[in-house]
Amino acid sequence: MKRQSQIIFVLFLAFIAVMASCRKFEDYPVIPEISYQGFWLENNVTTGITERGVLIFSYKDGDGNLGLAKGDTMPPFNFGSPYYYNLILDYYEMQHGKFVKVPLVFWNQETQQYDTLTFNSRFPILTPLTGNKAIKGVFQDTLFLYNPLSKFDTIKFGVYIYDRDLNKSNAIETPPIIINHDTIQP
């Protein structure tokens, strides 16, 4: 009888250990949430010009439907649709003491005229293949900042994302970012 009590006790302890070690899935809202984490500047060591920056933000999504596949090009994800890009970045310059949303302009050799650029992009599907679909993580996006057509040195970005159900996340902003346009003089 004593041996049977010991076996039951050991089985009970094993059951408690298994239950305690079971992974508890986190619960997030189905509308994506993002939070600003940081921004790194990368200067060209030869010229001293700020050429690139890395935007870092965290994300959470309750149903894990973040990201687009390469083949997601039919409506509503078709080119020209507001949902073609799922990472939206608005570019602002501080002009005369106020931040102003600015289109980025570049010279198009092919058309021999100025065109506009966008920082918007498409990121791939982030959902795990198995288990809980709720996801969280950190996203890094490298941005090319050098704009020889601008004389302003303080910028910021407004950011939001869309999921595949077209839910728009909250919007975040970077703090003001000071970039260097001047080259190093020999």
Higher-pLDDT residue of 105, 48? 48
Give 27-178's CATH code, choosing from 3.30.2420, 1.10.3470, 2.60.40, 2.60.120. 2.60.40
Query: What pLDDT was estimated at residue 62?
Result: 94
Residue 183 — pLDDT band, cuts 50, 70, 90?
Answer: low
Query: What pLDDT was estimated at residue 106?
Result: 78
Residue 105 — pLDDT band, cuts 50, 70, 90?
Answer: confident
Whether the predicted pLDDT of 17 surpasses 80: no
- Please state, in angstroms and rounded to a whole number, the distance separating the CA atoms of residues 102 and 137: 30
Q: Check if the beta carbon of residue 116 is closer than 8 Å to that of residue 105.
A: yes
DSSP strand pairing (104-108 vs 113-117): antiparallel
In the numeric block, which tokens belong to residue 52? 């690139």
Q: H helices of 29-185, where?
A: none
User: What predicted TM-score, i.e. pTM, was given to this entire model?
Assistant: 0.81
